[in-house]
Amino acid sequence: MPQFLVKPGNQILVAGNPLMVEMEIGANATAAKMLPGRLVIFDTTDGTVKEAGAKADNVVGILDVAPNKLESDAYAVGDECEIIAGECIAKLTLLASENVTRGDPLVAAADGKVAKQAVGAMGAQGTVIGHAWESSNVTVDAEILVHYHKTAEPAAAS
């Protein structure tokens, strides 16, 4: 038996029993970016989602793998999908050239990927979506283990 978590093949959820929500890929989603393991935000119609952008404050959850698809298969606009919306350990896509260490806070990056939270003014960094559970420093996108547990971003001082 392994002494640590193993990244599963063709699966995003690694450990936990999170809240799961059925939704639909929204009209404003970029189909090629709607890949399992990416963060999603609400689209313009109730019950629909699209890929999260950099420093998003309105992350809904993580796009999961459909039972009849592979992890590398993108969803099309209008497809039904399942969103991991609750706390768990998940395999997420870290933006290329991000240098993260175990325990670093992570925020949404472009195309629903994750990045290390940058130092900056409150209210301008994005919501922390979780913490890295492994280190990575590679020049390409990487799948890393993340303790997914959204928190609220503090508001900027007025």
Domain spans of the chain, in order of start:
18-85, 89-148
What is the pLDDT, as a whole number, of residue 41? Answer: 97
Displacement of CA 42 from its chain's centroid (Å): 13
State which H helix or E strand residue 14 sits in: strand 13-15
**Nearest one of 108, 102, 137 to 37, comparing CA atoms:** 108
**Nearest one of 117, 112, 14 to 63, comparing CA atoms:** 112
- Report pTM: 0.91
What is the pLDDT, as a whole number, of residue 66? Answer: 92
Q: What is the pLDDT along the chain (158 residues), one digit of tens a residue?
A: 568 898 998 999 999 999 999 999 999 999 999 999 999 999 999 999 999 999 998 999 999 999 899 999 999 999 999 999 999 999 999 999 999 999 999 999 999 999 999 876 565 678 899 999 999 999 999 999 999 998 876 665 55
Architecture field, domain 18-85 = Beta Barrel (2.40)
| Residue with the two structure tokens 């039904």 | 80
What is the pLDDT, as a whole number, of residue 151? Answer: 81
